[in-house]
Amino acid sequence: MQGRAVDGSDEILAVDGVSVTLSGREILRDVTFHINAGEFTGLIGSNGAGKTTLIRVILGLITPSSGTVRVESGSRGHPLIGYVPQRITLDPDMPLRARDLVGLGIDGQRFGLPLPSATRRKQVDEMLDAVDATRFADSRVGNLSGGEQQRILIAHAIISHPRLLLLDEPLANLDIGSEQEVVDLLARIAREQRIAVLISTHDMNPLLPVMDRIVYVANGRIATGTTAEVVSSESLTKLYGVHVDVIHVHNRILVVAGRREEALQHGGSESIVELV
Protein backbone atom coordinates (compact mmCIF):
# COMPACT_ATOMS: atom_id res chain seq x y z
CA MET A 1 0.00 0.00 0.00
CA GLN A 2 1.13 3.52 -0.71
CA GLY A 3 0.62 5.20 2.61
CA ARG A 4 1.53 8.84 2.29
CA ALA A 5 2.26 10.96 -0.68
CA VAL A 6 5.43 13.02 -0.87
CA ASP A 7 3.78 16.22 0.29
CA GLY A 8 2.60 14.52 3.48
CA SER A 9 -1.10 14.40 2.64
CA ASP A 10 -2.93 11.08 2.92
CA GLU A 11 -3.66 9.28 -0.30
CA ILE A 12 -7.24 8.04 -0.10
CA LEU A 13 -7.95 6.69 -3.56
CA ALA A 14 -5.59 5.18 -6.11
CA VAL A 15 -6.99 4.19 -9.50
CA ASP A 16 -4.25 2.58 -11.60
CA GLY A 17 -4.51 1.46 -15.22
CA VAL A 18 -8.22 0.67 -15.00
CA SER A 19 -9.95 -0.54 -18.15
CA VAL A 20 -13.58 -1.61 -18.30
CA THR A 21 -15.33 -3.55 -21.03
CA LEU A 22 -19.08 -4.06 -20.69
CA SER A 23 -20.88 -6.43 -23.09
CA GLY A 24 -18.03 -6.25 -25.58
CA ARG A 25 -17.79 -2.45 -25.58
CA GLU A 26 -14.80 -0.68 -24.11
CA ILE A 27 -16.10 1.96 -21.70
CA LEU A 28 -12.86 3.01 -19.99
CA ARG A 29 -9.25 2.56 -21.12
CA ASP A 30 -6.18 2.75 -18.92
CA VAL A 31 -7.56 5.24 -16.37
CA THR A 32 -5.07 6.36 -13.72
CA PHE A 33 -5.50 9.01 -11.04
CA HIS A 34 -4.96 9.46 -7.30
CA ILE A 35 -6.91 11.49 -4.75
CA ASN A 36 -5.73 12.75 -1.35
CA ALA A 37 -7.61 13.43 1.87
CA GLY A 38 -9.56 16.67 1.89
CA GLU A 39 -9.23 17.11 -1.84
CA PHE A 40 -12.20 18.20 -3.92
CA THR A 41 -12.14 16.47 -7.28
CA GLY A 42 -14.51 17.00 -10.18
CA LEU A 43 -15.17 14.07 -12.50
CA ILE A 44 -16.15 15.91 -15.65
CA GLY A 45 -17.49 14.59 -18.92
CA SER A 46 -20.53 14.64 -21.17
CA ASN A 47 -23.40 12.20 -20.71
CA GLY A 48 -22.34 8.67 -21.55
CA ALA A 49 -18.61 9.41 -21.23
CA GLY A 50 -18.18 6.74 -18.55
CA LYS A 51 -18.42 8.76 -15.31
CA THR A 52 -20.99 6.51 -13.68
CA THR A 53 -19.07 3.41 -14.75
CA LEU A 54 -15.91 4.80 -13.13
CA ILE A 55 -17.80 5.53 -9.90
CA ARG A 56 -19.25 2.03 -9.88
CA VAL A 57 -15.77 0.56 -10.38
CA ILE A 58 -14.48 2.52 -7.36
CA LEU A 59 -17.46 1.26 -5.31
CA GLY A 60 -16.65 -2.31 -6.31
CA LEU A 61 -19.98 -2.78 -8.12
CA ILE A 62 -18.16 -3.35 -11.44
CA THR A 63 -14.97 -5.40 -11.78
CA PRO A 64 -12.49 -3.78 -14.17
CA SER A 65 -11.10 -5.97 -16.95
CA SER A 66 -7.63 -4.75 -15.97
CA GLY A 67 -6.03 -2.39 -13.49
CA THR A 68 -6.51 -1.84 -9.75
CA VAL A 69 -8.52 0.40 -7.44
CA ARG A 70 -7.33 0.93 -3.89
CA VAL A 71 -9.18 2.81 -1.20
CA GLU A 72 -7.18 3.67 1.92
CA SER A 73 -8.52 1.71 4.88
CA GLY A 74 -10.32 3.85 7.42
CA SER A 75 -10.93 3.28 11.09
CA ARG A 76 -12.29 -0.11 12.01
CA GLY A 77 -15.95 -0.93 11.40
CA HIS A 78 -16.72 2.14 9.28
CA PRO A 79 -17.70 1.93 5.66
CA LEU A 80 -14.83 3.45 3.68
CA ILE A 81 -16.86 5.10 0.99
CA GLY A 82 -19.88 7.36 1.28
CA TYR A 83 -22.00 7.32 -1.85
CA VAL A 84 -24.78 9.48 -3.27
CA PRO A 85 -26.23 7.70 -6.31
CA GLN A 86 -27.52 9.36 -9.45
CA ARG A 87 -31.20 10.37 -9.68
CA ILE A 88 -32.71 8.74 -6.62
CA THR A 89 -36.45 9.19 -6.56
CA LEU A 90 -37.65 9.52 -3.03
CA ASP A 91 -41.30 8.54 -3.12
CA PRO A 92 -43.65 10.99 -1.35
CA ASP A 93 -45.62 7.94 -0.16
CA MET A 94 -42.60 6.54 1.69
CA PRO A 95 -43.13 7.09 5.41
CA LEU A 96 -39.59 8.18 6.14
CA ARG A 97 -38.45 11.42 7.78
CA ALA A 98 -35.26 13.17 6.74
CA ARG A 99 -33.74 12.26 10.11
CA ASP A 100 -34.63 8.57 9.60
CA LEU A 101 -32.72 8.46 6.32
CA VAL A 102 -29.69 10.17 7.88
CA GLY A 103 -29.79 7.69 10.79
CA LEU A 104 -29.82 4.77 8.35
CA GLY A 105 -26.38 5.98 7.25
CA ILE A 106 -25.08 4.82 10.64
CA ASP A 107 -26.66 1.39 10.88
CA GLY A 108 -28.90 0.81 7.83
CA GLN A 109 -26.96 -2.31 6.89
CA ARG A 110 -27.61 -3.98 10.27
CA PHE A 111 -30.18 -6.69 10.77
CA GLY A 112 -32.59 -6.74 13.70
CA LEU A 113 -34.80 -3.99 15.05
CA PRO A 114 -33.17 -0.64 15.87
CA LEU A 115 -33.01 0.25 19.55
CA PRO A 116 -33.58 3.83 20.62
CA SER A 117 -30.27 5.41 21.53
CA ALA A 118 -29.50 8.90 22.84
CA THR A 119 -26.00 8.80 21.31
CA ARG A 120 -27.39 7.91 17.93
CA ARG A 121 -29.99 10.64 18.13
CA LYS A 122 -27.37 13.22 19.07
CA GLN A 123 -25.15 12.08 16.20
CA VAL A 124 -28.05 12.44 13.75
CA ASP A 125 -28.95 15.90 15.13
CA GLU A 126 -25.36 17.08 14.73
CA MET A 127 -25.21 15.78 11.18
CA LEU A 128 -28.53 17.43 10.29
CA ASP A 129 -27.15 20.67 11.67
CA ALA A 130 -23.92 20.27 9.69
CA VAL A 131 -25.83 20.09 6.40
CA ASP A 132 -28.33 22.83 7.43
CA ALA A 133 -31.21 20.39 7.44
CA THR A 134 -32.50 20.82 11.00
CA ARG A 135 -35.44 22.89 9.73
CA PHE A 136 -36.91 20.01 7.72
CA ALA A 137 -35.53 17.12 9.78
CA ASP A 138 -39.00 15.83 10.63
CA SER A 139 -40.51 16.21 7.18
CA ARG A 140 -41.08 13.31 4.87
CA VAL A 141 -38.06 12.94 2.54
CA GLY A 142 -40.31 12.54 -0.49
CA ASN A 143 -41.86 15.98 0.11
CA LEU A 144 -38.53 17.85 0.19
CA SER A 145 -37.16 19.88 -2.71
CA GLY A 146 -34.34 18.50 -4.86
CA GLY A 147 -31.68 20.53 -3.04
CA GLU A 148 -33.00 19.51 0.38
CA GLN A 149 -33.02 15.85 -0.67
CA GLN A 150 -29.41 16.12 -1.86
CA ARG A 151 -28.36 17.55 1.51
CA ILE A 152 -30.09 14.67 3.31
CA LEU A 153 -28.47 12.09 1.00
CA ILE A 154 -25.07 13.72 1.61
CA ALA A 155 -25.66 13.58 5.37
CA HIS A 156 -26.65 9.92 5.00
CA ALA A 157 -23.41 9.26 3.12
CA ILE A 158 -20.99 10.98 5.51
CA ILE A 159 -22.49 10.28 8.94
CA SER A 160 -20.45 7.08 9.18
CA HIS A 161 -17.20 9.07 8.69
CA PRO A 162 -16.01 7.68 5.35
CA ARG A 163 -12.63 8.78 3.98
CA LEU A 164 -14.01 9.10 0.46
CA LEU A 165 -17.31 10.58 -0.69
CA LEU A 166 -18.55 9.74 -4.19
CA LEU A 167 -21.42 11.70 -5.72
CA ASP A 168 -22.91 10.84 -9.10
CA GLU A 169 -24.38 13.93 -10.82
CA PRO A 170 -25.65 15.48 -7.57
CA LEU A 171 -26.25 18.83 -9.28
CA ALA A 172 -28.53 17.47 -12.00
CA ASN A 173 -32.09 18.83 -11.77
CA LEU A 174 -31.18 21.45 -9.15
CA ASP A 175 -31.97 25.12 -9.60
CA ILE A 176 -28.97 27.48 -9.54
CA GLY A 177 -29.49 28.50 -5.90
CA SER A 178 -29.58 24.94 -4.53
CA GLU A 179 -26.72 23.98 -6.86
CA GLN A 180 -24.52 26.61 -5.23
CA GLU A 181 -25.62 25.53 -1.72
CA VAL A 182 -24.78 21.89 -2.39
CA VAL A 183 -21.36 22.76 -3.87
CA ASP A 184 -20.50 25.02 -0.91
CA LEU A 185 -21.60 22.31 1.52
CA LEU A 186 -19.43 19.68 -0.18
CA ALA A 187 -16.42 22.01 -0.24
CA ARG A 188 -16.88 22.66 3.50
CA ILE A 189 -17.14 18.92 4.22
CA ALA A 190 -13.96 18.19 2.27
CA ARG A 191 -12.08 20.97 4.07
CA GLU A 192 -13.35 20.51 7.62
CA GLN A 193 -13.65 16.73 7.81
CA ARG A 194 -10.69 15.94 5.54
CA ILE A 195 -12.92 13.76 3.37
CA ALA A 196 -11.84 13.26 -0.23
CA VAL A 197 -14.79 14.31 -2.40
CA LEU A 198 -15.20 12.98 -5.93
CA ILE A 199 -18.18 14.48 -7.71
CA SER A 200 -19.30 13.70 -11.24
CA THR A 201 -21.01 16.33 -13.36
CA HIS A 202 -21.45 17.22 -17.01
CA ASP A 203 -21.17 20.93 -16.14
CA MET A 204 -17.90 21.90 -14.44
CA ASN A 205 -18.77 25.58 -13.99
CA PRO A 206 -20.45 25.35 -10.57
CA LEU A 207 -17.34 23.54 -9.29
CA LEU A 208 -14.71 25.96 -10.65
CA PRO A 209 -14.29 28.00 -7.43
CA VAL A 210 -13.81 24.95 -5.18
CA MET A 211 -12.21 22.25 -7.33
CA ASP A 212 -8.67 21.16 -6.37
CA ARG A 213 -8.35 18.65 -9.14
CA ILE A 214 -10.16 17.61 -12.27
CA VAL A 215 -10.58 14.19 -13.84
CA TYR A 216 -11.86 14.84 -17.34
CA VAL A 217 -13.40 11.84 -19.11
CA ALA A 218 -13.87 11.63 -22.86
CA ASN A 219 -13.66 8.74 -25.32
CA GLY A 220 -13.13 6.32 -22.43
CA ARG A 221 -9.86 8.01 -21.48
CA ILE A 222 -9.11 10.65 -18.89
CA ALA A 223 -6.96 13.71 -18.42
CA THR A 224 -6.20 14.74 -14.86
CA GLY A 225 -4.52 17.62 -13.03
CA THR A 226 -5.54 21.10 -11.92
CA THR A 227 -8.31 22.87 -13.81
CA ALA A 228 -5.76 25.09 -15.56
CA GLU A 229 -3.72 22.09 -16.65
CA VAL A 230 -6.60 20.00 -17.95
CA VAL A 231 -9.07 22.50 -19.31
CA SER A 232 -6.87 23.93 -22.02
CA SER A 233 -7.23 23.73 -25.75
CA GLU A 234 -4.06 21.69 -26.03
CA SER A 235 -4.92 19.08 -23.38
CA LEU A 236 -8.55 18.59 -24.45
CA THR A 237 -7.65 18.44 -28.14
CA LYS A 238 -5.38 15.52 -27.26
CA LEU A 239 -8.11 13.83 -25.21
CA TYR A 240 -10.98 14.26 -27.67
CA GLY A 241 -8.87 13.61 -30.77
CA VAL A 242 -10.44 16.61 -32.49
CA HIS A 243 -9.59 20.27 -32.23
CA VAL A 244 -11.12 21.77 -29.08
CA ASP A 245 -11.35 25.43 -28.13
CA VAL A 246 -11.61 26.46 -24.51
CA ILE A 247 -13.30 29.82 -24.10
CA HIS A 248 -13.48 31.82 -20.88
CA VAL A 249 -16.58 34.03 -20.60
CA HIS A 250 -17.71 35.80 -17.40
CA ASN A 251 -15.87 33.35 -15.11
CA ARG A 252 -17.42 30.45 -16.95
CA ILE A 253 -15.66 27.99 -19.19
CA LEU A 254 -17.04 26.95 -22.53
CA VAL A 255 -15.59 23.92 -24.30
CA VAL A 256 -16.19 23.89 -28.04
CA ALA A 257 -15.18 20.82 -30.02
CA GLY A 258 -14.09 21.10 -33.64
CA ARG A 259 -15.20 19.22 -36.70
CA ARG A 260 -18.80 18.08 -36.60
CA GLU A 261 -18.33 14.62 -38.23
CA GLU A 262 -15.69 13.50 -35.78
CA ALA A 263 -17.39 15.02 -32.77
CA LEU A 264 -20.58 13.19 -33.66
CA GLN A 265 -18.77 9.86 -33.56
CA HIS A 266 -17.71 10.44 -30.01
CA GLY A 267 -20.65 11.64 -28.04
CA GLY A 268 -23.52 12.81 -30.20
CA SER A 269 -24.56 16.38 -30.68
CA GLU A 270 -23.63 17.40 -27.15
CA SER A 271 -19.91 17.26 -27.82
CA ILE A 272 -20.11 19.72 -30.67
CA VAL A 273 -20.62 22.70 -28.44
CA GLU A 274 -20.10 21.41 -24.99
CA LEU A 275 -20.99 23.60 -22.06
CA VAL A 276 -18.74 21.98 -19.52
Residues that bind other proteins (CB under 8 A): 59, 61, 79, 81, 83, 85, 88, 90-91, 93-97, 100-101, 104-105, 107-114, 138-140, 143-148, 156, 175, 178
Q: What distance in Å separates the CA atoms of residue 223 and residue 216, rounded to the nearest whole number? A: 5
Of 47 and 86, nearer to other proteins (C-beta) is 86
Do you know the residue count of the chain?
276
Q: For residues 153 and 105, what is the distance between their CA atoms, to the nearest angstrom? A: 9
| Shortest distance in whole angstroms from residue 71 CB to other proteins | 12
For residue 268, the minimal CB distance to other proteins (Å) is: 25
Residue 201 has phi, psi (to 5 degrees) of -160, 150
- E runs forming strands in the chain: 11-22, 25-36, 40-44, 66-71, 81-84, 164-168, 196-201, 213-218, 221-225, 244-249, 252-257, 273-274
Nearest residue (CB) to other proteins, 49 versus 167: 167
Q: Smallest distance from the beta carbon of 258 to other proteins, in angstroms? A: 36
Alpha carbon of residue 7 to chain centroid:
24
Return the sign of the alpha-carbon dihedral for residues 60, 32, 44, 192: positive
Q: How far is the CB of 24 from other proteins (least distance, A)?
A: 21
Nearest to other proteins of 66, 86 (CB atom): 86
Nearest approach in angstroms of CB 78 to other proteins is 11
Nearer Cβ to other proteins (139/237):
139
Q: Shortest gap between Cβ of 166 and other proteins (angstroms)?
A: 8
CA torsion through residues 36, 82, 71, 25, sign: negative
- Residue 16, amino acid: D
